[in-house]
Structure 1
């Protein structure tokens, strides 16, 4: 397994390959959990467990979508800690270092129950079948789309439609550009193995961020006039930009806080129930600065940046838009899923 293929799971802290550009391995376990159970895994309240990590942007998407849709009571969630070794994400946040439902110390165990010879990275998010203890899927974009489209029967009253039928074609195009150029673009900068690879990645990233800055200067949300999964996918990169990507990944033409439209857009989302209340800045910083030992060999985690700006007025209401469409915001976060007060300015 090439060490650069899985930024969430690498060998001994080695994430760059000298002389090479970063290429993400996008081969995931594509089994789906659907309403009709076509792949052998029907939607069933209480059967599955979402394993995530607040540190990871791909897993953060699933945490947000689960909360927006009100699926907490039908899809339980286990959280891995912010750091891991070359083998696996671990449950070091839980008493005894074991997930209380699955009874395992390492997420790797659930992958090996699916395939004893599983050859790829042990990634989050993953959905585990609690009846067998085996991973069903780690296909992160499909997981969140299916939560919206296949779990509808179990959505809370007033849940937003994150995949509006009329916008899906536009969403597909926007999501593709955001993924390749921004979500993954920051990693291409951070894990570049040559100056040439970095320069190319940097130029592509900022071309896309300039496009987003222009697009979001005249509309409140990324696609349409309500919240959609397109916003979720962009948010998890933006919220990590100044604390991590700007310095650690050398994406440093500008800070997010220096981009008027994107900064206001990010604050608007952060202050929206279901977004900022899922963000743990302490875990985010600890993950990147500790795990990526070849990029930050000292393992020192920076104290900054100042997070208070996330709560300042954003003024995006002037652009109109209806955040929840015909629905309503989610209720308060349950006590057992609340981000610690020290890790968020949302207090």
Structure 2
């Protein structure tokens, strides 16, 4: 928390990279690493979506932590015996302490763990998805989209910077504000940016260019949580997403695109925010609503043109062992 009650995110990440040439000591090797995520977390959800869009499921296996955690860290309570079957650990913090016994920063997801050593390589979520696009190309599926194409990178980076500051992190700055003044500033900044994004998307199906890019993934993971969590829990309540016509149609378009909605677990999302943030929701009661069936209603965004996967094709159906549990999300 900054002076004046403004929320400040701890951004001290492990920035070691996994690269095709191994220049940081960690070369791209299929099956060597384990991507640890929670479907509740928007930052981890980016990695889940990008991994699926690019077809890296076999090359980069995934561990899914449960939706809640305590002060110590995320736990593998979804797995038999409460342990990840590959890493053999109960808590993600064990992999962080294997890397650095004195580690004193956030135990965050996504994190990529080196299976042979059991050590976290990186939790630098922004770089993780970029490197999936640029460094893991040898293992992309046939027809994988270009999520970070060279010609569009400057524009994607510029959009991502504003979306991160005003929207992705903006909802947290509103929700965790420690004063009325800091909350009001965060609230205004958030909705001003959403209004600008609405105008940008009125005549364009996607944020940058005519195909899905990294920019769309980063905005989507906040929008998909908006009505279920941020509108009430974080007091971002000028409007629901479903009351913002352009952004609502844009979000539904993405949700109904293979690789997006089929990775979303609304049950985990709601349980995480409402049960973990006891300073905001002391009772830990998880709301029954909202009705989520509206995510499957027609969006009519195809009339704007654009090709979701460019010259490629959609990913295949989700593997059974990675499917979102029945009843946790409307199936697109």
Shorter-chain TM-score: which interval? over 0.9
Alpha-carbon contact 2:10-2:106 (below 8 Å) kept: no
Q: Does 1:33 align with 2:18?
A: yes
Segments of 5+ residues of structure 2 without an aligned counterpart are none
- 2:162 aligned residue: 177
- 2:80 aligned residue: 95
Q: Does 1:215 align with 2:200?
A: yes
Number of positions where the alignment pairs a residue of Structure 1 with one of Structure 2 = 332
Segments of 5+ residues of structure 1 without an aligned counterpart are 5-16
Alpha-carbon contact 1:52-1:60 (below 8 Å) kept: yes
Q: Give distance in 2, aligned partners of 1:20 and 1:255.
A: 25
| Residue among 259, 262, 269 paired with 1:274 | 259
| Residue among 151, 162, 167 paired with 2:147 | 162
How far did residue 267 of structure 1 move?
A: 0.2
How far did residue 18 of structure 1 move?
A: 9.3
- 2:61 aligned residue: 76
Provide Cα deviations, 1:231-251, integer angstroms capped at 9, x if missing partner: 000000000000000000000
Q: Give distance in 1, aligned partners of 2:199 and 2:236.
A: 19
Provide Cα deviations, 1:40-66, integer angstroms capped at 9, x if missing partner: 000000100000000000000000000
- 1:233 aligned residue: 218
TM norm structure 1: 0.95
Q: CA RMSD in A?
A: 0.9
Q: Does 1:334 align with 2:313?
A: no
How far did residue 19 of structure 1 move?
A: 4.9
Alpha-carbon contact 1:18-1:194 (below 8 Å) kept: no
Alpha-carbon contact 1:18-1:193 (below 8 Å) kept: no
Alpha-carbon contact 1:145-1:163 (below 8 Å) kept: yes
Provide Cα deviations, 1:93-133, integer angstroms capped at 9, x if missing partner: 00000001000000000000000000101000000000100
- 2:232 aligned residue: 247
TM norm structure 2: 0.99
1:192-203 map, 5 Å: 192-203=177-188
Q: Does 1:205 align with 2:220?
A: no
Provide Cα deviations, 1:193-221, integer angstroms capped at 9, x if missing partner: 00000000001001100001111111000
Q: Give distance in 2, aligned partners of 1:159 and 1:131.
A: 29
- 2:8 aligned residue: 23
